[in-house]
Amino acid sequence: MLSIVSPSKAFELITKKCTKRVHDFSVLHISQSLGCVLAENVVSKIDIPGFDRSMIDGYAVRACDTFGASESMPSMLRLAGSVRMGESPVFELAPGECAFIPTGGQLPKGADSAVMQEYCQAPDSQTVIIEKPVAPGDHLIFRGDEVSSGLTLLESGTVINSGHIGAMASAGIPSVTVFRRPVVGIISTGDELVPAGSELSGAQMFDVNSDTLAACVREALGEPEVYGIIPDDADLLLAAAKEALIKCDMLIISGGSSVGLEDQTANIINRLGSPGVFLHGIAIKPGKPTIAGLVDDKPVFGLPGHPLSAFVVFKLFVAPLIRMMAGARKDERFPLRCALASDIASNHGREEIVMVKIEKREQRLIAHPLHAKSGMIGVLSSADGYIMVDRDAEGILENSEVDVYPI
Please report, as residue ranges, which positions from 261 to 300 form the binding site for its own copies (by CB under 8 A): none
Q: For residue 9, what are the contacts with CB-CB under 8 A and spacing of at least 6?
A: none
The least distance separating its own copies from the CB of residue 338, rounded to whole angstroms, comes to 8
Would you count residue 93 as binding its own copies (CB under 8 A)?
no
| CA dist., res. 20 & res. 327, Å (int) | 10
Nearer to its own copies by Cβ, of 351 and 384: the residue is: 384
| CA dist., res. 231 & res. 189, Å (int) | 6
Would you count residue 102 as binding its own copies (CB under 8 A)?
yes
For 113, the 3-state DSSP assignment is strand
The least distance separating its own copies from the CB of residue 173, rounded to whole angstroms, comes to 6
Would you count residue 85 as binding its own copies (CB under 8 A)?
yes
CB 386 within 8 A of CB 371: no
**Which listed range, 15-23, 42-50, 272-280, 295-303, lies at the site for its own copies (CB under 8 A)?**
42-50
- CB 245: neighbour CB atoms within 10 A? 18
Q: Tell me the residue type at 146.
A: E
* Residue 37: φ, ψ to 5°: -105, 125
Would you count residue 372 as binding its own copies (CB under 8 A)?
no
Reported as type and span, the H/E element at residue 184 is: strand 183-189
- What x/- string results for residues 45 through 64 when contact with its own copies is judged by CB under 8 A? -x-xxxx-x---x-------
Nearest to 231 by CA among 258, 250, 270: 258
Would you count residue 228 as binding its own copies (CB under 8 A)?
no
Question: Within a 13 Å sphere around the CA of 303, how many CA atoms are in the beta-carbon half?
Answer: 30
**Which listed range, 142-150, 246-254, 276-284, 341-349, lies at the site for its own copies (CB under 8 A)?**
142-150
Nearer to its own copies by Cβ, of 60 and 295: the residue is: 60
What are the Cα distances from residue 16, in Å, to 10, 245, 262, 314, 321?
Answer: 10, 21, 23, 17, 10
Would you count residue 103 as binding its own copies (CB under 8 A)?
yes
Would you count residue 238 as binding its own copies (CB under 8 A)?
no
Q: Contact with its own copies (CB under 8 A): which of 95, 137, 172, 275?
A: 172
Nearer to its own copies by Cβ, of 51 and 67: the residue is: 51
The least distance separating its own copies from the CB of residue 232, rounded to whole angstroms, comes to 8
Q: Contact with its own copies (CB under 8 A): which of 252, 383, 389, 396?
A: 383
| CA dist., res. 221 & res. 39, Å (int) | 14
In the window 118-137, what residues touch its own copies (CB under 8 A)? none
Number of residues that bind its own copies (CB under 8 A): 95
**336-340/364-369 β-pairing:** parallel
| CA dist., res. 303 & res. 210, Å (int) | 12
Nearer to its own copies by Cβ, of 168 and 295: the residue is: 168
The least distance separating its own copies from the CB of residue 369, rounded to whole angstroms, comes to 15
Q: Contact with its own copies (CB under 8 A): which of 153, 238, 341, 345?
A: 153
What are the Cα distances from residue 227, in Å, to 230, 241, 253, 256?
Answer: 8, 9, 10, 15
